[in-house]
Amino acid sequence: MKLLFKQRLFSWFDSYDIYSGDGSVLFTVEGKFSWGHCLHILDANGAHIGTVQEKIITFLPQFELYAYGEYLGCIKKEFSLFVPQFTLSSSDWTVTGNFMEWDYTISSPSQGLVAAVSKELLQWTDTYVIDVPDPANALCTLMVVLAIDAEKCGRN
């Protein structure tokens, strides 16, 4: 399953549209005013299905993930020198980026490759292509990518 992650050009808060491979909108992401990043994920019908909430007072960035009202875990940036690395507290997923922080892989010892994420260059806004082999992992993968993008925006 391929997802196209596009940030909206004109918005006060972080806002994104997530498209399927055929161009239909699967998810909408709306940033909310709060301390730290707070992103609400809506399905194609506008129903709230997930939240990515930044934890404020931490040494390295951390984001709590919620889907359908249930706590999924916390994605944490790990200390690393050359390539960004993240772990998800409630699963065995690890996220590794490349030196330029444009491409990421999400992998798991039990599942293998969970997703591959690549940034499209020469776009007006942040645009990522997310390749998720198992559609059941699409929402959680999207939340991980949102957290990584929010962490990068927070640094810049």
Which CATH number fits the domain that encloses residue 84? 2.40.160.200
Mean pLDDT over the full length of the chain: 89
pLDDT in tens, 80-133: 888 999 999 989 999 999 988 889 999 999 999 999 999 888 777 778 899 999
Q: Is pLDDT above 70 for 9?
A: no
Q: Residue 121: its pLDDT value, please?
A: 80
Distance separating alpha carbons of residues 45 and 66, to the nearest angstrom: 19
- Counting the structural domains of the chain, the total is 1
Q: Residue 100: its pLDDT value, please?
A: 85
Q: Residue 154: its pLDDT value, please?
A: 64
Specify the higher pLDDT residue, 62 or 12: 62
Specify the higher pLDDT residue, 13 or 83: 83
Mean pLDDT (whole number) for 66-73 = 96
CA distances from 27 to 1, 6, 14, 138 (A): 14, 11, 14, 10
Nearest of 74, 84, 51 to residue 155 by alpha carbon: 84
Q: Is pLDDT above 70 for 58?
A: yes
Nearest of 89, 99, 29, 94 to residue 63 by alpha carbon: 89
Range of the domain at 107: 2-155
Q: Is pLDDT above 90 for 3?
A: yes
Predicted confidence band of residue 34 (pLDDT cuts 50, 70, 90): confident
Q: Residue 39: its pLDDT value, please?
A: 94
